[in-house]
Structure 1
Amino acid sequence: MRYDRLGSAANFDQLYDQRVRNAAFEWLASQCAVHGDVLPRRPLLEGGFEFQGRRIHLVGPQGIFKPRTMAVPLSITTTPAGPYNDAFGPEHFLRYRYRGDDVDHHENVGLRTAMAYHLPLVYFHGLLPGRYFAEWPVYVVGDSPETLTFSIEVDTRKMRPAAVPMQVRESAAARRETALRRQYVTVESRRRLHQQAFRERVLKAYRHQCALCRLRHEELLDAAHIIPDAEPEGEPEVRNGLALCRLHHAAFDRFFLGIRPDYTIQVRPAILLEEDGPTLRHAIQGLHGRRISLPRRHSDRPSPSSLSFRYDRFLEQAATL
């Protein structure tokens, strides 16, 4: 496969490329249905899937990845250490750094080709080592050699027609509609990315168990904000988070119980007086006066000031209910 500097490809098998990308999207959807939105690098993404008797891998050692059977990159990946806010530039684009500082490096030219042919890719956001949040399809929509970055947009459509240059396929009106849709979807992508990163880090800190009842089934665990994320102080940081099962997350949010700054659980007085079945008795009332399970690392433990803020809210609500 040969490219010119702007990314036009010679001998590009458009139909095969389309089929592989659509197969990759279908496979990713099936894996997310099993594993959730965050996927393990090993063995899943590195192992990939079979397509027409050949193994298609999803990621490689470098961030811009092209399977051997393809002419143009299939995925881009960021590392867990990457700053999430810095990935979002003006006009709701994501920014993706070049491979190195050589504008004509073959991987950078490969992404330029994806832009020229309007090819959908997969974006793997590294949340923790070996754990990736997958977004697809994403499109390369801009190239800035001055800043060594590409502009990326997220879309909602999972399947695409055969690859042809964007200007041939879409009218000006259709391109405007596409741009508006992608701006919205890309903003939503940032929100989901922050949520998933927060969840992964909080659950890891709490050893993947509920801080109140120690339930370990990850499918039933949430990362709860101590100070709600709608508040100015409600940062998506581990110290502002608690790993809670769905029941105790709802109970915490609805002020059935509160957590004092010394990590002691207080159940609302009116709830303590209720008489009901074993769930209320053991799962709610039985927590009164107990301490929550804490992360091993002191730096990950709930901020006393955040707990104090939330506990004051709990006392206000308890006085009126």
Structure 2
Amino acid sequence: MEVDLPTQEEFDRELRLAAMGWLTRRTQDGLEAITSDELLDFSFGGERFRLMDAQRGIRKPRQLASALSIRTVYRADESRRPYADEIGTDGTITYKWRGDDPDHAENRALREAMERRQPLIWFFGVGVAAYKPIFPIYILREEPEKHQFILAPESVADILSSDTPIDDNLKRYAKTESKRRLHQPVFRATVMRAYETRCAVCSLRHGELLDAAHIIPDAEEAGIASVRNGLALCKIHHAAFDKKILGIRPDNYVVEIRQDLLDEIDGPMLRHGLQDHHGRRLMVVPRARAERPDHDLLEISYRKFRTAG
């Protein structure tokens, strides 16, 4: 009895679906980052299969006609932000060629993925050997004169691939959607890794109850999506920080609670959740100095806290 072997196209499609499903489960639907060692656990067709190239930025398995994944390595000192690629006004993202040769094998692999409209996995570095997988990402076009490809998350790619002219409102939506799909998950994963998935104020360890809080809101000019503008906070301390009920001194990381809340008598949640932390230092700060809260950003936030109420 003859058994029909899958075509390369069928193998490609099934592999990508299996890889993205596995990554969804292993990262708790994107809540957690994944390490290089953990990525080695993936198997397909009963055999171990590498999803990311350990030495190169672009992974093109020999079994596929085009690239499967791309990688951006984390740099703690990279211009106050954990990624170099920028989101354009239309929501697109740039990814540089490998080297300057347009005919380099890895550039050809990305070009093939673009022509076949294959979904890619983007492994975005959020720490040493730690990555936030973002998928599916599509290549919209190539800009040879700038040695780069232009990419977008699936929802944005669908908009920009349309033949219909794109108005300013749609461009704003596309940019917002790209930030939601790329910057926000990368920011969260970077902050959670730096704070070892613990609340900076109370040390709560449950990731599903923690947020990556901006010291300066991302809507403001200084509110960059950098680990130095971030704090891992549980839900109650995040809300208290944003509402200027809780402040953090920039010189010594001491927590302060607004005076009217200190004077209030309400019950154990107020007492243990907020009042008892007044005058105490943050319980968790990143080990690496380059990842600790930026003094100037904390100073801005603290001044607003002092004038609140």
State the TM-score, normalizing by the size of structure 1. 0.76
For structure 1, the 5+ residue unaligned runs are: 1-11, 158-169
Pairing 1:311–2:302 present: yes
Structure 1 residues 156 and 178: alpha-carbon distance in aligned structure 2, compared to 1, 3 A threshold: farther
Q: Tell me the distance in 2 between the aligned counterparts of 1:138 and 1:113.
A: 14
8 Å CA contact 1:201–1:238 kept in 2: the answer is: yes
Shift of 1:284: 1.1
Pairing 1:275–2:262 present: no
Pairing 1:176–2:163 present: yes
8 Å CA contact 1:153–1:183 kept in 2: the answer is: no
Letter in 1 for 2:153: V
Q: Tell me the distance in 2 between the aligned counterparts of 1:178 and 1:132.
A: 36
Q: Tell me the distance in 2 between the aligned counterparts of 1:230 and 1:279.
A: 31
Shift of 1:73: 1.7
SS of the equivalent of 2:274 reads helix
8 Å CA contact 1:38–1:196 kept in 2: the answer is: no
Structure 1 residues 115 and 290: alpha-carbon distance in aligned structure 2, compared to 1, 3 A threshold: closer
Letter in 1 for 2:100: D
Structure 1 residues 108 and 178: alpha-carbon distance in aligned structure 2, compared to 1, 3 A threshold: farther
Alignment of 1:54-73 (within 5 A): 54-61=47-54, 62-73=56-67
Equivalent residue in structure 2 for 1:41, among 14, 36, 47: 36
Structure 1 residues 283 and 176: alpha-carbon distance in aligned structure 2, compared to 1, 3 A threshold: same
Q: Deviations over 1:262-290 (max 9, x none)?
A: 43322222222333332221121111222
Structure 1 residues 49 and 225: alpha-carbon distance in aligned structure 2, compared to 1, 3 A threshold: same
For structure 2, the 5+ residue unaligned runs are: 1-6
Letter in 1 for 2:42: G
Shift of 1:207: 4.5
8 Å CA contact 2:90–2:174 kept in 1: the answer is: no
Pairing 1:232–2:225 present: no
8 Å CA contact 1:154–1:185 kept in 2: the answer is: no
Pairing 1:222–2:221 present: no
Pairing 1:26–2:16 present: no
Q: Tell me the distance in 2 between the aligned counterparts of 1:177 and 1:136.
A: 25
8 Å CA contact 2:218–2:225 kept in 1: the answer is: yes
Q: Tell me the distance in 2 between the aligned counterparts of 1:56 and 1:35.
A: 21
Equivalent residue in structure 1 for 2:280, among 280, 290, 307: 290
Q: Deviations over 1:155-180 (max 9, x none)?
A: 139xxxxxxxxxxxx9xx97326989
Q: Deviations over 1:94-141 (max 9, x none)?
A: 222222332222222222222222222222222222222222222222
8 Å CA contact 2:212–2:233 kept in 1: the answer is: yes
2:133 corresponds in structure 1 to 134
SS of the equivalent of 2:163 reads helix
8 Å CA contact 1:206–1:295 kept in 2: the answer is: yes
Shift of 1:59: 0.9
Alignment of 1:57-96 (within 5 A): 57-61=50-54, 62-81=56-75, 84-88=83-87, 91-96=90-95
Letter in 1 for 2:119: P
2:11 corresponds in structure 1 to 16
Which is higher, the Rg of structure 1 or of structure 2? 1
State the TM-score, normalizing by the size of structure 2. 0.78
Equivalent residue in structure 2 for 1:253, among 242, 250, 256: 242
Shift of 1:226: 2.3
8 Å CA contact 2:134–2:182 kept in 1: the answer is: no
Shift of 1:72: 2.1
Structure 1 residues 286 and 235: alpha-carbon distance in aligned structure 2, compared to 1, 3 A threshold: same
Q: Deviations over 1:30-57 (max 9, x none)?
A: 23336625332222x2332323x34332
Between 180-189 and 86-95, the greater mean CA deviation after superposition: 180-189
Structure 1 residues 185 and 68: alpha-carbon distance in aligned structure 2, compared to 1, 3 A threshold: farther
Q: Deviations over 1:222-255 (max 9, x none)?
A: 2322222222232334443333222211121223
2:4 corresponds in structure 1 to none
Identity of paired residues, percent? 42
